[in-house]
Amino acid sequence: RTMPLARPTRQIPEAAWTSGLREMTEPWKGAVGCLGVAVFFAMTIGIISWQALEQSPEEWVLRGRTGGVLWERRRGALLLRALPAGRMVAVIAVGGVPAAEPPPPRDRCWHDRGQFCYAWEEDAELRLSLEPPPAPATECYGVHWTPLRPDVMLKDCFSMANVSWYGGASVRAQRWPLNGAESPAQPFVSGDFGKNPAGYGPVLERYFLGSTGVTVTVAPDVPLVLSLESDRHFCLQTPAGSDAVSLRYLLCVSQDIAAAHRHVGSQLAGQARALPDTALLGSPIWRYYGPAGSAAKIKRGLRSLVKKLKRHHLQEGVLALGESSTAILAAADHVPSERRKRHNSARAWDPSLIEPLQLSITLSPYTSIASPLFLRWLRDGQAASYCLSLQPRFGDCSVPLLTTWKGRLCARLNVTSELALSWYLARAQRLRQALGAAYVVFEGAEGNVFLERAVPPPAELAGDRYTAALAAALAVLGNATIISAGAGSSHLPFFVQMSPLHSDWSHAGLKGLIPSVLHYSLLGYNFFIPDAVGGSLAGDTPGDPELYVRWLQIVTFLPVMAFGTPPWLCCDAWV
């Protein structure tokens, strides 16, 4: 008997169903796993992005009433902003510390809301503080960096982006504003362009004024190095190799640049301004460059110059003798009285020789080592009392510190010695009376001879304290004094002799005259004597008629007009 054929039931066998499902779900498991990993990464990136966007790159570290200081993480910089609008006032890039490490929210001075303190371990400590303002509308912040290791050099750079800076130091090719100036890092000390053309000039102050209404003033006892990088920044830093020197300065913010200078810059001198002899404002200065080999030659040269001035109807003003001519006339005037009678006073100076013109004489704090005066000091063991000297280490005698002045090896007056200052001032007063001089010019007041010789200066002569001490001593001579440098002495009754310029159209010549005038005036030295018409640096003789006349036109509007080359000796009859 045959069995009937079974009908197909269309059911998958159990074993076939299980194996088929397993084969079908394997790709889906991989896809789900990849999707999970992608979602995890997306969430991680989102969280990081959210944190980056949510957490500002700028963080307040010290906040005042009208402004405050922030820390910018990205470039490691201090930001000074004015409130309430948050206007950017200054950007200060921090050097000498790992700027990539931002100060944490915690503040070591958290108990004092007027301070912020933070230390970069083993590098430096920063202390910011709110300081008493000079005026109600101005707010000031003290910045104090302290190195924690002797080899740490502190350096803060002030950005020139969107800020015009003024003040500070004069340079050979003066710019206005300071943004266009260039200078390598060097001690912030006044100098002589004749000795060091790349250095800083004879008038400077530790004061910088920004167009955003910010001022930067550096404490006078801080050893300071300044560098200028054109259109980028200027940097304040501590000297290399110094042992743990702090960097301290004061930031002040005002409503605008005029208010900032009125509240801070005009108070630099700290004392009421005394006026110099304003009669000089109406007296052209005629510098004598004639024969100077002897007193007789000088007198003949002066007589000749006076006759020519009268012939050209220019018989008013001041005849200015240089240092060499002054020394020759002084030596002739101090011939002993017996010899003077025997020589019928032929060598003595007679002030009526140049009437109606007045006379100015020139002195400096330098003494040639070949002069009888210096040799006498050495013989009497008084050189250290009258001259700057190197102090002995092991009880030896002091050695005079020698330097060059106008091509001669010289010693410099010791302004820390009462004996030396009394002698110097009495000598200046005696020469002024003996020669009948109306004015006395003091050259060579600028510079620090210790730094020039790479010798650490004593504390009382650090920086520009020599210039300041000499200027303060010369004030006893009265207001008919002209000095070649200014540093912390704008309140004294002096005229300041501006640096010589090249006889050309460059920024080292005529083009630099107006920027220099603005620089001197900003720092408080409003009574100045510009260089001679046409320029006088390095014996330059004006030869361009147009340059000479343009120069004459400019100085017409300045306090004093000086001539080295008289108009009739320049160029042609048209001049």
Which pTM was predicted?
0.84
Contact 494, 471 (CB under 8 A): yes
Q: What is the pLDDT of residue 85?
A: 83
As a whole number, mean pLDDT of residues 252-269 equals 89
Residue 168 near residue 207, CB atoms below 8 Å: yes
Tell me, yes or no, whether 322 lies in a domain.
yes
The single-letter code of the amino acid at 153 is: M
Tokens of 79: 């930001």
Query: 282 and 228 share a domain?
Result: no
Question: Positive or negative, the Cα torsion across 154, 160, 162, 165?
Answer: positive
The verdict on 358 and 370 lying in the same domain is no
Highest mean pLDDT among 52-61, 79-88, 416-425: 416-425
Q: Does 490 lie in the same domain as 408?
A: no
Q: State residue 9's pLDDT score.
A: 46
Is the alpha carbon torsion for 275, 277, 281, 285 positive or negative?
negative
Contacts of 153 (CB under 8 A, 6+ apart): 95, 96, 147, 237, 238, 239, 240
Structural domain contains residue 16: no
Residue 309's domain comprises 278-332+349-365+422-574
Query: Cα–Cα distance between 57 and 73 in angstroms, integer?
Result: 5
Mean pLDDT of 515-525: 94
Residues 209 and 321 placed together within one structural domain of the fold? no
Cα end-to-end distance, the chain, whole Å: 151
How does residue 447 score in pLDDT terms, banded at 50, 70 and 90?
A: very high
How many Å apart are CA 87 and CA 152, to the nearest integer?
Answer: 33
| pLDDT tens digits along 448-490 | 999 988 888 998 999 999 999 999 999 999 999 999 999 989 9
* Domain end call among 249, 269, 289: 269
Query: Has residue 133 been placed in a domain?
Result: yes
pLDDT at 148: 86
Measured CA distances, 478 to 4, 11, 284, 495 (Å) = 145, 126, 21, 11
Q: Are residues 288 and 436 in the same domain?
A: yes
The answer for residues whose C-beta is within 8 angstroms of residue 456's C-beta and 6 or more apart is: 450
Average pLDDT for the chain: 85
Confidence of residue 248 (pLDDT cuts 50, 70, 90): very high
pLDDT digits (tens, 9 = 90+) for 130-157: 999 888 889 999 999 998 888 888 999 9
Bridge partners, residue 497, by sequence: 529
Q: What pLDDT score was predicted for residue 513?
A: 95
Q: How many domains does the chain have?
A: 3
pLDDT at 279: 93
Question: What CATH number does residue 87 fall under?
Answer: 2.70.98
Here the tokens at position 507 are 């920024």
For residues 226 and 249, is the Cβ–Cβ distance under 8 A? no
Whether residue 167 sits in one domain with residue 73: yes
**Secondary structure in 3-state letters for 113-142:** CCEEEEEECCCEEEEEEEECCCCCCCEEEE
End residue of a domain, out of 224, 243, 269 = 269
Residues 429, 394 share a domain: no
Q: Which residues of 238-248 are buried (b: 16+ CB within 10 A; e: fewer)?
A: bbeeeeebbbb
DSSP string, 64-129: -SSEEEEEETTTTEEEEEETTTTEEEEEEEEESS-TTSPPPS--TTTT-TTEEEEEETTTEEEEEE
Is 46 a domain residue? no
Last residue of a domain, one of 215, 246, 269: 269
Mean pLDDT of 276-300: 91
Same domain flag for 539 and 560: yes
The pLDDT tens digits for 86-118 are: 899 999 998 777 655 555 555 677 677 789 988
The Cα 251–Cα 212 span in angstroms is 12
* DSSP conformation class of 386: H
